[in-house]
Structure formats: structure tokens, C-alpha cells
Amino acid sequence: MQKSNVYIETYGCQMNLADTEIVQGILANKGYDLTNNIKKADVVLLNTCSIRENAEQRIYGRLGNIKTLRNKKPNLVIGILGCMAERLREDLVTDKKIVDLVVGPDEYRRLPEFIDTAFNGEKGIGVKLSKTETYDDLVPFRNDDGLSAWVSVMRGCDKFCTFCVVPFTRGRERSSSLESVVSEVEQLAKKGYKDVTLLGQNVNSYLDNGRDFADLLAAVAVVDRNVRVRFSTSHPQDFSDKLLYTISEHPNLCNYIHLPVQSGSNRILELMNRTYTIEHYLTIIEKARKIIPDVTFSTDIISGFPTETYEDHLATLEVMREVRYDGAYMFKYSPREGTKAYRMEDDVDEATKSKRLSEIIDEQQKISYEINQSLMGVETEILIEGFSKKSNEFLAGRTDTNKTVIIPLKENIKKGDYIKVKINKATSGTLFADVIKKIDLTKSRKQKTA
């Protein structure tokens, strides 16, 4: 095998970031060198996202850019990984010049073979989806900060929300074994990691030999009380009371739930095939607040789904006011080929989608600001993650409710420390605080936090 430098650029969700680490693990095992410098690369791979049209367009643009690198390095291998693989295959077949290899999310084990054949001038395509591939036995290559890590616990999605391309690009749901997840978290804890996020397109449908996601969370929580555990993302349909009780029982399971609502209108939710009503969704929120005092929520919202009326839009704003999310990821509906919604007319015009989206964003900004203002004077625990983005005279940490807190730099405080702080200033996105003292999370009880 030719010894070569591989450069990977990742687009899209956390799942894709975690997949890139798996791919890097596979390549490093086979003796490839990994580089962060595209100019030094013999192989350039883009791990792609198809969730919305603008994500795909960005990647096509970037591909155009990267192709010009071939002028200087004619043997440069260019490859596409991830969710666009299936779609790009067509392009590759009709226009062989675009890329050398296209590998979908379930065929990463074959990547070294494809790279080798690409060096010999042959195109490689591996886009089959698998019912079983979980990459359980592979160790991801983590070139991160040594503090926060993602651990993928299930892959694929069987929900078939009518707007979403994921069930087509990532295939059927399948879960990693509980033992393999626990063992990965044990390894991470040993290496000093303090913050682990369990990932899956819908972690609530996790199932391994009768053990559900709550069982998995409980098993991961007891690995090391100094390691905080988060998870993403949840579908309201499978959100169980058992899961809520599990979160409330373990001090290091974060008081934070990402629960996509998508729309506040029952009519739209039905067209989206979300399989719940707003009333049911609100019951989960209410229950969670009872069982886990101080729990915070974030959500995903789509504006301008086919047939969405102004009243439907108002219903979404109403739900936002009722739940008072701490954060939200907000998107304009983007038709995706192959989905059920693609066959519906995309009848909310662009200007209306934009206007509704900006109303939704404004509402969320207002709510986040009010919530954060109400935290003034509150004492909470944060995990120090490093310097603040803006200045090396400040440190940044996170509450277990996923809020960023900035504190002044102090000699005895470093990345990885748990600190008790008191909030003294707040914007819609960031909290600022004074330090009270260092703490030991293992001795802390379930937090009452910001």
C-alpha cells in the first residue's frame, strides 16, 4: 500500500463528526497519515450532509474548489463520504471526472481498499446500507481536546418523518451493544475525558438484548461520576418515564434534553408523520420538569412546511412561549428528493418562509435572554472546557444544562476542573460568573443548576 496523507473535512451533524473519527481510526490502523493541512494531502475526503439543500450546495461548491488542487497534484484522490454518497453516485456514473470514490455511511471499512484502487486510477463506489453495521469493534481516532467525546450508540432511523432524508441516506435503525458503549466510555474516562455525548439519530429507540436507552444511560453513568453524560437526539414518540427517572437518579446525567418539536400545529405534525400531538409533546415536557427539577430543553423547528398557514405558524410560536426552550435550531423547510414531503407542493413561498423563520428566531432570542437574565445571582456548577473564544484572559465552561459560562482566568483553575460559580451577567447566548470554589463532582448530589 502506498503511504499517504489523508485530509478529511466534515459537514453536518454530530453524528457525522463522530463518523469522521471512525473513518480516521480505520485509516490510521491501515497506516495512513492524517493531516489537517489540505495542501499536504494525497487524499481529500469530504464527509457530507444532505439534510437541507443549502448543505449540499455548499459541498458542491467546495468540491469545485478542491478540484483545482489537482492542477498542482494530478494524482490527488478526491472522495465523498457520508449522506450525499447515494446521490453523488449518479453524478459519478454520468460524469466520471467529479470524484474518485464515493463511500456511504455503512461502508467505511472498505475505504482503504477504495483509496488503493483510486491510486491505480480506478473509481470506487460503496454505497450499500447495512442492517447491522455499528462499527462497535472500532476505536475512533480522536483528535479533539481530550475533554469532550462523542460516542455513537445507534445508527440509522426508522421514523420516516416525511421531510427527512436520513432514513434513506443512513438506513435502518440498529444499536451498538451496551457492553461496547460502556467499554468505550471506560476508556475515555481513563484517558481523562469528562464529558461524553451518546449519539444517535433517535437514541430513544436504542435496544440491545432487551436493554433500552435508559438502561444504557444508567450503565454509562456509573462508569465514572466525574464524567458528565449527555445524549442527542430524541424523538418524542419513544420518550419514556423510565428515561426521565434515570436522568433524575444519576448526578452526572445532564439535566438537558434536546427534544425536536418541528411544528406547533397538529395538522402539520400529522403531515410530517411525527406521530405525536402537541398535547402529548407538552405532557412529556411537564413530566420531565416534575421529575427533573431545573431540566432545560432545546428543540428543532422547521418553518414553511407544505401547506403551513399563518395560523400553523402562530401555533409554533405559541408552543415556544409555552415550553420556553433554552435553545433552538431553526430551519426553513427544504424539499428533499425521495421523501414523502417532496411529492407535496412546496407551496409556502421563499419570502414567507424567511419571514416566519426570522419571527421564530426572534422569539427564541427573546426567551433565551429572559431565561438567562433570571439566572442572575444563581450559583451553579460548571466544567471548564478551555479559554473563552474571545480572549485568553477568560475561561469558558458549561453548566450541565448546556449553557456556556465565562469566568475570569485564575491560576489554580484549568481545563477539566469542576467549579462552583455565581452568575453575574447574562446575554441570550452566554452567562458570565464569579468563581466560588473548585468542587469534586463525585461528592456532589444531583445538581440544582442554572
Summarize as ranges the residues that interact with ligand 5AD (CB under 6 A).
51-52, 163-164, 260, 262, 300, 302, 331, 333-334, 336
52 binds, among ligand 5AD, ligand SF4, none (CB under 5 to 8 A by kind): ligand 5AD
125 binds, among ligand SF4, ligand 5AD, none (CB under 5 to 8 A by kind): none
Among all chains, which residue has been given the C-alpha cell 459560562?
405
Closest approach of Cβ 396 to ligand SF4, in Å? 30
Binding segment toward ligand SF4, per CB under 6 A, in 9-17, 37-45, 157-165, 375-383: 157-165
Smallest Cα–Cα separation from 421: which of 401, 403, 440, 405? 405
**Does 12 participate in binding ligand SF4 (rule CB under 6 A)?**
no
163 neighbors 272 (Cβ within 8 angstroms):
yes
Binding segment toward ligand SF4, per CB under 6 A, in 123-131, 163-171, 283-291, 378-386: 163-171
Smallest Cα–Cα separation from 303: which of 257, 233, 364? 364
Parallel, antiparallel or unpaired: strands 296-303 and 256-258: parallel
Contacts with ligand SF4, 233-272, as mask; x by CB under 6 A: --x-------------------------------------
Closest approach of Cβ 52 to ligand 5AD, in Å? 5
Q: Of the two residues 149 and 154, which places its CB atom closer to ligand SF4 in the complex?
A: 154
C-alpha span between 370 and 75 (Å, rounded):
56
273 neighbors 262 (Cβ within 8 angstroms):
no
C-alpha span between 425 and 431 (Å, rounded):
6
Which cell is 437 given? 470554589
**Across 28-123, where does the E strand assignment appear?**
33-34, 43-48, 77-82, 101-103
263 neighbors 276 (Cβ within 8 angstroms):
no
407 binds, among ligand 5AD, ligand SF4, none (CB under 5 to 8 A by kind): none
Q: Of the two residues 81 and 269, which places its CB atom closer to ligand SF4 in the complex?
A: 269
AA identity, residue 287: K
Q: Of the two residues 353 and 403, which places its CB atom closer to ligand 5AD in the complex?
A: 353
254 binds, among ligand 5AD, ligand SF4, none (CB under 5 to 8 A by kind): none
Closest approach of Cβ 116 to ligand SF4, in Å? 33
- What distances in angstroms separate CA 12 from CA 219, 223, 428, one per listed residue? 29, 30, 24
Sign of CA dihedral 368, 371, 377, 383: negative
Closest approach of Cβ 301 to ligand 5AD, in Å? 7
Using CB under 6 A, pick the residue from 87, 159, 353, 356 that binds ligand SF4.
159
**Does 232 participate in binding ligand SF4 (rule CB under 6 A)?**
no
AA identity, residue 202: N
Closest approach of Cβ 76 to ligand SF4, in Å? 34
Please state whether 426 falls in left (phi above 0), alpha (psi between -120 and 50) or beta. beta
Q: What is the CA radius of gyration of the chain?
A: 23
287 neighbors 245 (Cβ within 8 angstroms):
no
160 binds, among ligand 5AD, ligand SF4, none (CB under 5 to 8 A by kind): ligand SF4
Closest approach of Cβ 17 to ligand SF4, in Å? 16
129 binds, among ligand SF4, ligand 5AD, none (CB under 5 to 8 A by kind): none
245 binds, among ligand SF4, ligand 5AD, none (CB under 5 to 8 A by kind): none
Binding residues for ligand SF4 (CB under 6 A): 157, 159-161, 164, 166-167, 201-202, 235
